[in-house]
A and B are shown apart, each in its own frame.
Chain A
């Protein structure tokens, strides 16, 4: 089973269980905060006068435990980290917003969720904090327009994790963070002894076993390590539904597609009285390649541009010189060697209905690109069937400027170009009226796994 569960990634009325799951998570959250004493503002404010470091202890224990479990499960391949929401980094609004939150914290004595635990147990200050919160959030909505550009762009780094910043593996960083947390707990207890006059000998000795246990678990995460792209690739599964006519054993070769089918190649001949049956197949990544289910024909790739439902991104993975010679209009050049660098952006930025189409001269490089992207959990990736060469065959055969080359090598351009005109050849942007009717097998199946903008505290 692959976690996180697809059914629970967003709430919707279509699946009422999601309300129960998220409500239950919230319940456990509120229960734990109240249990820790966070319904009492004095306990929270004491943190900032070094009298009692409950906030630090609860928060960093929670972070250390959740992080260790999370990266352990990621290392074991139970959880796909690329499907886990990682808050995108906005340094500008993050730092200023954080400082403002600090002010609110010390003035109001709560943070938003602790004020919920406080309000629900009858604390008037908690209720007023909550009420003030509604006003503050409203004011932000009203004033955001005055600094919209700064808010959305200042120090934006997208999905960025600390292991990438420091250039260490995530599992090593887990161990470092756990060690730092344990050191902070020790330091915090010393502060409590000095400023809060706390008798440490009355603290439970069990906490030392907890510390050792946490350290051991973090060591375990380091031993497990992170899954290699190859591991992730082998674990991938793709679902495709197929409509089979009951009477004829003949398979209707059509993958059932959300997008409209332009080339209706199966005519009325296949119409039978029997009800069509829908069968769901689960394929591995290699099977998808072997059955050519991820290859989209030039015609489909071209038509995709004119469909409302999908937002195609043409990823040209060839060398820059080939790209300069000839490329599809609107295509983006990301040479294969540099593709890995932009994966974080592909995961976090584009809208959920984006379909990526990798483009090579033939197919070899485009297949490599496809493997890299799907093993990094990028959704809706397809390969341009036959690459640029096939594209020119289909759309540019009549262009006298494009001269076929006799002895082009594997995965190289099979045409000669008079000049590096880029996308200014006619066939780079075929005329949609001229090519209105095209026959093809629809391969693109849009999968809306999760709405990226819905994650986090959004």
Chain B
């Protein structure tokens, strides 16, 4: 058990410089394109895992829902897609970096003027809203803004502007959450 405790009690290191982290991320993204032809992503996996769950509980419902039909209809396995291993890889990778840099800690990150409960409710709501929008736009900040941005996809740049536009437009009204 000693090694386990040592993972959680390592001295916390500083974050990498944004430009350095960005450059590394850029190389990772490039390698993804070079090897597989696909970029990065994650929100697609969320809806595929959803589809797999629905398929287990109510397979008939899948056949009546056009959106699920595409992923899980018939004998299709919704988890049989490149984005699913990327999703689980990202979870592992985040954990590995947290472990290495002493940042594994059960805690809540929030603005100074709200309670933990408010923060929890808001993050749940935010996740719900974000993924709803991500599925509508056919990709999130990684699948559209990052990957589509690097391939110069016209629609992805529009989506990127819309994401930042939406967030900046609302930022003032929810400033209590963060500042």
Contact = CB atoms under 8 A, between A and B. Distances in A.
Interface in B119-161: 119-120, 122-161
Interface residues of B, number: 127
B11 interface: no
Interface in A16-46: 18-19, 21-37, 39-43, 45-46
A11 B175 CA distance: 43
B67 A31 contact: no
A55 B144 CA distance: 15
How large, as a class, is the contact surface on chain A?
35 or more
B148 A137 contact: no
A91 B155 contact: yes
B21 interface: yes
B148 A87 contact: yes
A244 interface: no
Given A25-B32, A31-B94, A456-B41, A104 B145 contact: no
Contacts of A408: none
Given A27-B90, A113-B90, A36 B98 contact: no
A396 B40 CA distance: 54
A125 interface: yes
Contacts of B103: 34, 39, 121
Contact of B80 (A12, A70, A96): A12
Nearest to A11: B82
| Main SS class of interface, B | helix
Contact of B142 (A60, A108, A113): A113
A101 B163 contact: yes
Contacts of A103: 129-130, 133, 166-167, 170
Nearest to B41: A457
B40 A140 contact: no
B106 A59 contact: no
A3 interface: yes
Interface string A61-91: 1111111011001000011000111111111
A347 interface: no
A70 B38 CA distance: 12
Given A26-B90, A34-B93, A160 B158 contact: no
A26 B93 contact: yes
B96 A145 contact: no
B98 to A, nearest CB: 3
Contacts of A135: 124, 127-128, 131
B120 A122 contact: no
23 contacts: A8-B37, A25-B40, A26-B88, A27-B93, A32-B25, A34-B97, A39-B103, A40-B109, A49-B178, A57-B18, A58-B19, A59-B146, A99-B162, A101-B162, A102-B164, A102-B170, A103-B166, A106-B171, A111-B142, A113-B41, A132-B126, A140-B131, A457-B41
Given A97-B133, A177-B152, 18 more contacts: A25-B32, A27-B92, A39-B98, A54-B18, A66-B25, A70-B150, A96-B136, A97-B134, A98-B159, A100-B137, A101-B130, A102-B167, A103-B133, A128-B124, A137-B47, A162-B153, A457-B41, A457-B43
Interface of A: 3-5, 8-13, 18-19, 21-37, 39-43, 45-49, 51, 53-54, 57-67, 69-70, 73, 78-79, 83-91, 93-126, 128-142, 144-145, 148, 151, 157, 159-165, 170, 173-174, 177, 185, 204, 207, 210, 450, 453-458
Interface of B: 15-19, 21-44, 46-47, 49-51, 54, 65-68, 70, 80-98, 101, 103-111, 116, 119-120, 122-171, 174-175, 177-179
